[in-house]
Amino acid sequence: MELEMMMGEEAASHSPVVVLPRMNSSRDGKLSYAHNSDFQRAIASVTKKVRQDMAAALYRARGRPASMAIADLGCATGPNALLMVSDAVEAVLEVAAENADNTPPPQLHVFLNDLPGNDFNAVFRLLPSSPLAAGGCSCLVSAWPGSFYGRVFPDASLDYVVSSSSLHFLSKSPAMSPEHPNRGRVYVSPAAAAAAAVLDAYRAQFHADFLAFLCCRAAETRPRGILLLTFVARRTARPTPHDCFLWDLLADALMDMAAAGLVDEDKVHAFNVPFYSPCPDELAKVVAKEGSFTLRTMKLFDSTRRRLLRPPPAAVSNKQDDDGELSRWLAVETGRTVRAVVEPMLRTHLMMGSAAMDGLFCRYRLLLEAYYRSSNSRNKDDITNVFLVLEKKQLH
């Protein structure tokens, strides 16, 4: 998901800073999100069969209509931009081809959504080589820029909505007191002095955002239409240290930079990443509160970057040296992904140049490698995701 950022003006004193997410654009080459989104693709692959089965089942349940509308919220750019909608289109066309009466295939309206700063032109350049341009496929593809925390599409216009690796990003950083209670941290941290207050602030922001998301989709989705949502989550009501390690280590790297006089320590204290991984109870409560959808599926699953090893690090086995090679590889790949996500936010908030950013992520990589080498977390890089299937209730 490619995102934009705006900064609330920071008063000379202690007024809170509001950070809105943005990622490295497709113009940033090897540092871009498009170039560092293999892990997100692996996460999407876990749900592919279920998503395709549900697209086919919806097409049948609607009586094989002459047209269907398919939307991807947070499509971003790069190799994943057309992945989710292509999976759905392939499934529907496979069912349509079963007809023995030579009925023409349905006209599929494919809506791609992301914030206005997304490089939709780069996405459209992928179309000629995608399944959406296959012979006999009648797909009308269009871009719909705007935040999915607000209205994007016309009333009752959507049948099948997907979103993957996007909804863990908040519309903005959570509101906290002017005294920056999350000092030295950039996210929820179980060991922090104000952990409970920070968790409450993050939870409140996520609940408000997810409720707004569902309200907007309720207006835009036809009865019995479905939302298929995948994003980072956690298994317990209270975050565990492993739920937060990516952000805790980034905070450690930033505080190390501050101690060396390379960044402003007060600005580090004021920075809170606009990200949240909810637990199942929180999700169920928001869905029930909004009231327009039936929760058909809520499944947690873990993804690991080790699934992407190709080729694997040299001679990875159970030997100590080979464990070290894997730890280094995990640290490098994870660091690149996190940098692609947060670099623009850090540049704007901390006024960091390229050299300082390189120094920060060098420190971060070393901290990640130490984490992956630790006996308590050896090569433990799994990330918990949730897969939600919501069905729009039938009107009475």
- CATH value at residue 138: 3.40.50.150
Any domain includes 267: yes
**Model confidence pLDDT, tens digit, residues 362-374:** 999 999 999 999 9
The whole-angstrom separation of Cα 221 and Cα 69 is 10
- Determine the structural domain holding residue 71 and report its residue range: 26-392
**311: preceding bond cis by omega (within 30 degrees):** yes
Edge-to-edge strand list for the sheet holding 158-164: 139-143, 107-113, 67-73, 158-164, 221-232, 383-392, 293-303
Interacting residues of 375 by C-beta distance below 8 A, sequence separation 6+: none
pLDDT, tens only, 235-244 = 999 999 999 9
Q: Does a structural domain hold residue 209?
A: yes
Residue 5 forms part of a structural domain: no
Token pair in block for residue 18 = 């509001």
For residue 277, being part of any structural domain is answered with yes
Number of structural domains found in the chain: 1
117-126, 164-173, 211-220, 309-318, range with the lowest pLDDT: 309-318
Specify if 9 maps to a domain: no
Report whether pLDDT(17) > 80.
no
pLDDT exceeds 50 at position 13: no
Residue 4 covered by a domain: no
User: Model confidence over 193-227: pLDDT tens digits?
Assistant: 789 999 999 999 999 999 999 999 999 999 999 99
Residue 10 counted as domain residue: no
Q: What is the pTM of this model?
A: 0.90
CA atoms within 13 A on the CB side of 170: 23
Tell whether 375 is covered by a domain.
Answer: yes
